[in-house]
Structure 1
Amino acid sequence: MLGENLRRMRERRGITQEELAERVHVVRQTVSKWEKGLSVPDADLLMAVAETLQVSVSDLIGVDAVQAKSIEELSVQAAVLNEQIDLQNRRMARTTTIAKRAIAACILAVVLVVGVGVAVWFAVPSSFTQITVEYEIGGEVRQAQINVNDHFGRLSAGYSWPSEDDEIFGQGDLLMASGTGQPDVQLLLHGVEVAIENAGGKVVRISSTTS
């Protein structure tokens, strides 16, 4: 009530917060706190503000407030209001601290879960198998590879071959067989063999290494 009355009466008089602060010898931030209800002026300041705004102290405090008849009563009332405001601010600060701690705990829990998941993922044994197909074409022996990665029970595969044989192995069906999902290694190998035979070549040897 005091804060709203103070702002309304100050604006009615056409006085800025800076001007009021200067007249009662406080800083502008103090007047701002009064108007926001974050604090109240003591008895002397309350009387100075009322005099500056040319209103009575009772009008400034509000009709719902106890009518103060002396500086002593005003001092007691101001002290009680400041204590109530301070208690409310401390409660809000504790609530904010608890909320921040709860948020921090949630973030930490998420980080731990993600971290454990990543650790488990990388802890699972994985293997890499390279199948080498040696083939003869045009009187020259060359090599093509099928690379198979097995991680966490999921297979992924790809090919490598000499650049001069792109036309032999760069077939849509062959490349699609090595895409995502669970590729069939035997089907991949069969595709390479068929591509070599269709190009007029022959398979010389097939070998594999696993690491």
Structure 2
Amino acid sequence: MTLSENIKNLRKRAVMTQEQLADKLGVTRQTVSKWENNMSVPDADILSEMADVFDVSVSELLGYGANNGSTKDYAKILASLNGELAEKSRFRKSILRIIKAVLILLGVGFAALILYILFWMFIAAGM
């Protein structure tokens, strides 16, 4: 399981709302939502606090079983997850730019077509 799935599953198993978890960790409910929707990841300090809240190891929270890793390992894992999220974000932004360009071109084309029709209607009416 991914970190986002683990956070959501552990929170639900603890019968906790996103708001309640956010209060325990000193973050906003929106932040918890972003973690659960794989839009961001908690930093190492929050990850450790969250593991304590859920009474699991950080390794388990990250989805690596019960073995204990070092803080450097966790930092590398979080850095990797942040890199993956940044790549997804760049991809989404690229897709949105393409969609915007297509919509603008369609709008300009549609406006040109309307002007063309109106022009010929005006010419035909003038005859």
Normalising by structure 1, what TM-score? 0.55
Write the distance in 1 (CA, Å) between the matches of 2:79 and 2:114: 52
Deviation at 1:53, TM superposition (A): 0.8
Write the distance in 2 (CA, Å) between the matches of 1:7 and 1:117: 56
Deviation at 1:124, TM superposition (A): 3.0
Deviation at 1:68, TM superposition (A): 6.1
Match of 1:69, SS state, is coil
Conservation of the 8 A alpha-carbon contact between 2:43 and 2:78:
yes
Q: Which has the greater radius of gyration?
A: 1
Match of 2:88, SS state, is helix
Write the distance in 1 (CA, Å) between the matches of 2:82 and 2:96: 21
Conservation of the 8 A alpha-carbon contact between 1:17 and 1:28:
yes
Structure with the higher fraction of residues in strand conformation: 1
Which residue is 1:104 aligned to? 104
Report whether the alignment pairs 1:91 with 2:88. Answer: no
Which residue is 1:33 aligned to? 34
Choose between structure 1 and 2 for higher RCO, CA contacts under 8 A separated by at least 6 residues: 2
Alignment map for 1:28-67 (pairs within 5 Å): 28-63=29-64
Please give the root-mean-square deviation of Cα atoms over the aligned residues, in Å. 1.8
Q: Percent identity?
A: 33
Cα–Cα, structure 1 residues 6 and 121, in superposed 2: closer, same or farther, change >3 Å?
same
Write the distance in 2 (CA, Å) between the matches of 1:23 and 1:124: 73
Cα–Cα, structure 1 residues 46 and 9, in superposed 2: closer, same or farther, change >3 Å?
same
Structure with the higher fraction of residues in helix conformation: 2
Equivalent pairs, count: 125
Conservation of the 8 A alpha-carbon contact between 2:57 and 2:68:
no
The gaps in structure 2 that reach 5 residues or longer are none
